[in-house]
């Protein structure tokens, strides 16, 4: 597809937030501190300094500055820096949904997978995290060890899309 772009983005501060005890208490402290609710499974929340993306029942990926989160979490979870472990790849253009269907097991063409939605999936045997940025773009978080091969896979697959 001529309008499809696959762009590896520069590194960004990335952390994983895990909550393993007292989720209601952490959620209440989060809302009091940040003035918003923690995102539900399959969704994201954009705050001025960070974006939280929920992929698993008790796990969020956080991009940006995490100031103020540690007291919110307390002893009920952990905040782990993983910035060097993932490569952010933007898939943009009208064909990004079709591209994700190549080698994938997730229905990226569903109308329910809209702006702000997230998903954890496997594409060409690689664990990928997805965040829909708009109708024209999706951000894929790819493990560093597979990023080169995944970008190559998508580049070759994009050439076959009509």
How do the pLDDT tens digits run along the chain, 162 residues long? 468 999 999 999 999 999 999 999 999 999 999 999 999 999 999 999 999 999 999 999 999 999 899 999 999 999 999 988 999 999 999 999 999 999 888 899 999 999 999 999 999 899 999 999 999 999 999 999 999 999 999 999 999 886
Name the residue among 55, 56, 57, 77 with its Cα closest to residue 66: 77
Q: How far apart are CA 153 and CA 111, in angstroms?
A: 25
- Say what the pLDDT of residue 162 is: 63
Domains in the chain: boundaries = 5-11+84-158, 14-83
User: pTM of the full predicted structure?
Assistant: 0.92
Residue 45 phi/psi, 5° resolution?
-140, 125
- Say what the pLDDT of residue 24 is: 96
What's 5-11+84-158's CATH class?
A: alpha beta
Same fold, 5-11+84-158 and 14-83: no
- Say what the pLDDT of residue 133 is: 97
Q: Measuring CA to CA, how many Å separate 85 from each of 93, 103, 154?
A: 26, 22, 20
CATH superfamily of this structure's domain 14-83: Heterotetrameric sarcosine oxidase (3.30.70.1520)
- Say what the pLDDT of residue 61 is: 96
Q: How far apart are CA 31 and CA 27, in angstroms?
A: 6
């Amino acid at each position: 597809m001529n309008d499809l772009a696959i762009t590896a983005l520069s590194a960004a501060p990335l952390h994983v937030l895990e909550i393993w005890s007292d989720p209601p208490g952490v959620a209440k402290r989060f809302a009091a501190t940040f003035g918003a609710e923690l995102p539900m499974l399959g969704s994201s929340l954009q705050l001025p300094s960070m974006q939280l993306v929920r992929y698993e029942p008790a796990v969020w990926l956080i991009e940006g500055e995490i100031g103020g989160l540690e007291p919110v979490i307390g002893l009920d979870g952990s905040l782990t820096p993983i910035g060097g472990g993932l490569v952010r790849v933007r898939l943009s253009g009208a064909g990004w949904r079709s591209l994700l269907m190549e080698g994938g097991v997730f229905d990226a063409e569903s109308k329910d997978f809209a702006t702000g939605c997230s998903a954890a999936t496997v594409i060409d045997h690689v664990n990928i995290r997805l965040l829909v940025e708009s109708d024209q773009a999706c951000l894929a978080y790819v493990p560093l060890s597979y990023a080169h091969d995944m970008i190559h896979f998508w580049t070759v697959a994009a050439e076959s899309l009509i």
